[in-house]
Amino acid sequence: MTKGRLRNTILFRLKNQKEEDRRRKSKLIAKKLFNSDVFKKAKKLMFYISSNAEVNTKKMIRDAQKLGKTVAVPTCQRNRKIRPCFFEAGARLKKGPYGIYEPMRKNFINPKELDLVVVPGVAFDRKGNRLGRGKGYYDRFLKRLTKHSFSVGLAFDFQVLPSLPTAAHDRKVNKVIFA
């Protein structure tokens, strides 16, 4: 199956998943993430701000901040790159490019300082290959990280497939957490 058809199939399933399943699975995924050694050791991390169809990261962000973690979120730049921006508790948000929420006030962090990057995806496979939304933002961002940074994809069980079609520019995540 082509990336486009696969993307459309999974996006349809995401959009039509029952809200109670999304909430229950998101809690299980959060528990797995927060219990992982990489999360426990991380001091500076980046979460994506979830849309209604994705694994819910909003509570994860608040809980990580309560644990004293420095949290950043992605901002999309005109040059088609992601810049991590510090995210303070209670920060006001606005819709950025593609309707993705980001802080109104921007205080950027160097990506090389991030210990953990939580990555969204339309689909993943068990080897860490990732199918995104097709613009390449996260592929370019993951390429800029150091070996010190660990990347984790969050997904619902139906988003994790045996294998995905990949291209030379595609970047893997180090681990996929799903429920």
pLDDT higher than 90, residue 162: yes
Number of compact structural domains in the chain = 1
Residue 82 is part of which domain span?
Answer: 3-178
Tokens of 111: 């990506």
pLDDT > 70: what percent of the chain?
A: 100
First to last CA, the chain: 24
- The per-residue pLDDT for range 19-40, each reduced to its tens digit, is 999 999 999 999 999 999 999 9
pLDDT of residue 97: 76
- The per-residue pLDDT for range 149-158, each reduced to its tens digit, is 999 999 999 9
For residues 81-97, give the mean pLDDT.
90
DSSP run (H or E) holding 163: none
pLDDT higher than 80, residue 98: no
Composition of the chain by helix, strand, coil, percent to 5? 35, 25, 40
User: What CA dihedral angle connects 49, 52, 56 and 57, to 10 degrees?
Assistant: 10
pLDDT higher than 90, residue 171: yes
pLDDT of residue 165: 92
Are the CB atoms for 85 and 58 separated by under 8 Å?
no
CATH number at residue 24: 3.40.50.10420
Q: Count of residues for the chain?
A: 179
DSSP 108: B
- The per-residue pLDDT for range 57-77, each reduced to its tens digit, is 999 999 999 999 999 999 988
Confidence of residue 100 (pLDDT cuts 50, 70, 90): confident
pLDDT of residue 19: 96
pLDDT higher than 90, residue 96: no
pLDDT of residue 78: 75
DSSP 111: G
